[in-house]
Structure 1
């Protein structure tokens, strides 16, 4: 069922390259919103499956991106720099390019090296599931997601503004502006290290002689803590290797806390254990009970946009996000939300 899209994005023509879980969900939502969208996947079975769902799925990348206003690159992380170079050559200078990869620095550096930063906006929707493929994709997977976009000064800011508006209007996204390196540092602790911990816990159970008994008793603490261990192994490996240095740094920080808890347990120190878990509980409570305050911020529409980008990245680093971007009378205006002071 199509709900239609209004405003300046009504006539947008889009393409999605790579129609797995995330790419497929992008494709389905764009189609559901009434946009003219084509999806391409290197797997012919997946392309046929897309056609069976009433989607446009050309045989070639060239056919998929021809005449498009925006292209989402959704293939495996190691392929993104090569795909970016290919698509940039195949599309018009005004076509906005973005990706959905879970690490950002490498593809941002590739765009800079190749000279495509004027229209490439690195992106990462913070959503997913342990399942994979187009069959697991849905129109709602990305609804309301925190969606990182990495702005850059100069012409790239224009592409960032345009894409921000599209993601807010079509996906109801909370756009989180961040620099690529800062994204990778934050994602290491928010997403990548949890994959390591889940893999270690689930792997220990798999190796245990009591595996079946453990699984019989497994409840919320185990199933929640190991959910992402069900992610396809190659996808997880690509993500971890793509952000290796930052993941190892944050893992070392987690080990410090784990060693403190283990030492307290070994010593029978109930006070230290209680204090450690009270600290952890505070972070969990903050996640559940976060409050935000809204603000409006405007900048000149023209210029090098350095001040605008600095403000945007500062907003994201402070835990804020955008829910609107408008350009009027020579000015760009953002509706933003920042965490309220405790």
Structure 2
């Protein structure tokens, strides 16, 4: 599945913020793409933006090489079943949901592990719907893909497409490791933003607080502006891991509270300095680049282990090519000890 030749036929099921942005970028890249949404008005808006939007889901996905499932998290297993039933066995299926373990388990139970690749682009906005979609939203995004032992060919095809069309930094991870990392990187921040904004909403001096709010409040509550139902689905879909990581955050908050109550400037400064180090690492990460090659047709245990270890170590892929019986990855790893 090479995007550069424009021959890939794609479909996007669910055309809200992420699905709509996907759709528009695929269209702009010259792919043959169709969109479908359960809402008739949204389908009309898709058509108005120059993309085929059949009324029937089956018509939108039939004969496609890749289908992106972009509906709400609770709908994904049923949609996966429906789409799989009307697509060719070589059609790669993927999703963009913010939790991965449940949908991966559902795909395996349905015998779709060889062509379903769980995915999660790490991008978004505090708005929702097709009106907020942009072909640039996902450009250069970190994009988690969860390769399975039986699905390495599908993973390679999808990774190549995402890198070619979206310039994605593909992060290969197991589904459970993704959900654990995403709990602290994305899901708990939604709870913290909701808690801070909710406290202000209840405050006696609410309007005065909002009048004084500057960058710290705005940055800290940005994701609280998203659709509450979408956020609740995300949190409930990863409940156990979110609760575990929320407990870790509570521990640090308790340490800060104890230091503040005790008037212990040294302890308070130490905790804040620890936090500052993590924040500074966001914008100052150095990477080493390497290439790794595996036989394309033989047993894939070594390739799978390499990919999962790369993602768990904070690395990503910017190249995936299958040529002359071999698959070659271009990988980037945070500076430090090499893999293995």
Name the counterpart of 2:335: 340
- CA–CA distance in 1 between the matches of 2:336 and 2:62? 48
* Aligned residue pair count: 337
- CA–CA distance in 2 between the matches of 1:52 and 1:301? 42
The counterpart of 1:21, out of the listed 17, 20, 24, is 17
SS in 2 for 1:199: helix
How far apart are 1:16 and its partner, in Å?
Answer: 0.1
- State the TM-score, normalized to the length of structure 1: 0.97
- CA–CA distance in 1 between the matches of 2:5 and 2:39? 30
- CA–CA distance in 1 between the matches of 2:89 and 2:130? 30
Q: State whether structure 2 residue 46 is matched by structure 1 residue 44.
A: no
The counterpart of 1:320, out of the listed 312, 315, 318, is 315
- CA–CA distance in 2 between the matches of 1:322 and 1:256? 34
Name the counterpart of 1:252: 247
How far apart are 1:8 and its partner, in Å?
Answer: 5.4
- CA–CA distance in 2 between the matches of 1:141 and 1:192? 20
In structure 2, list runs of 5 or more residues that go unmatched.
none
Name the counterpart of 1:216: 211
Q: State whether structure 2 residue 188 is matched by structure 1 residue 207.
A: no
- CA–CA distance in 2 between the matches of 1:191 and 1:265? 27
| 1:14–1:37 contact (8 Å) kept in structure 2 | yes
| 1:24–1:134 contact (8 Å) kept in structure 2 | yes
| 2:2–2:161 contact (8 Å) kept in structure 1 | no
- CA–CA distance in 1 between the matches of 2:162 and 2:211? 42
Change (3 A) 1:138 1:8: closer
How far apart are 1:246 and its partner, in Å?
Answer: 0.1
Name the counterpart of 2:276: 281
Name the counterpart of 2:162: 167
Name the counterpart of 2:153: 158
How far apart are 1:6 and its partner, in Å?
Answer: 7.5
Q: Runs of 4 or more off by more than 3 Å in structure 1?
A: 5-9
How far apart are 1:63 and its partner, in Å?
Answer: 0.9
Name the counterpart of 1:60: 56
The counterpart of 1:135, out of the listed 126, 131, 135, is 131
How far apart are 1:53 and its partner, in Å?
Answer: 1.4
- CA–CA distance in 2 between the matches of 1:304 and 1:147? 25
Change (3 A) 1:223 1:312: same
Q: State whether structure 2 residue 145 is matched by structure 1 residue 149.
A: yes
- CA–CA distance in 2 between the matches of 1:7 and 1:262? 53
| 1:103–1:239 contact (8 Å) kept in structure 2 | yes
SS in 1 for 2:12: strand
- CA–CA distance in 2 between the matches of 1:133 and 1:38? 17
- CA–CA distance in 2 between the matches of 1:283 and 1:142? 25
SS in 2 for 1:103: coil
| 1:176–1:316 contact (8 Å) kept in structure 2 | yes
How far apart are 1:303 and its partner, in Å?
Answer: 2.1
- CA–CA distance in 2 between the matches of 1:293 and 1:239? 33
Cα shift readout 1:204-228 (whole Å, capped 9, x = no counterpart): 0011111110100110000000000
How far apart are 1:341 and its partner, in Å?
Answer: 2.5
SS in 1 for 2:120: strand
| 2:3–2:31 contact (8 Å) kept in structure 1 | no
- CA–CA distance in 1 between the matches of 2:321 and 2:47? 36
Aligned-pair RMSD on alpha carbons? 1.2
- CA–CA distance in 1 between the matches of 2:210 and 2:5? 49
How far apart are 1:23 and its partner, in Å?
Answer: 0.4
Q: State whether structure 2 residue 320 is matched by structure 1 residue 292.
A: no
- CA–CA distance in 1 between the matches of 2:2 and 2:119? 23
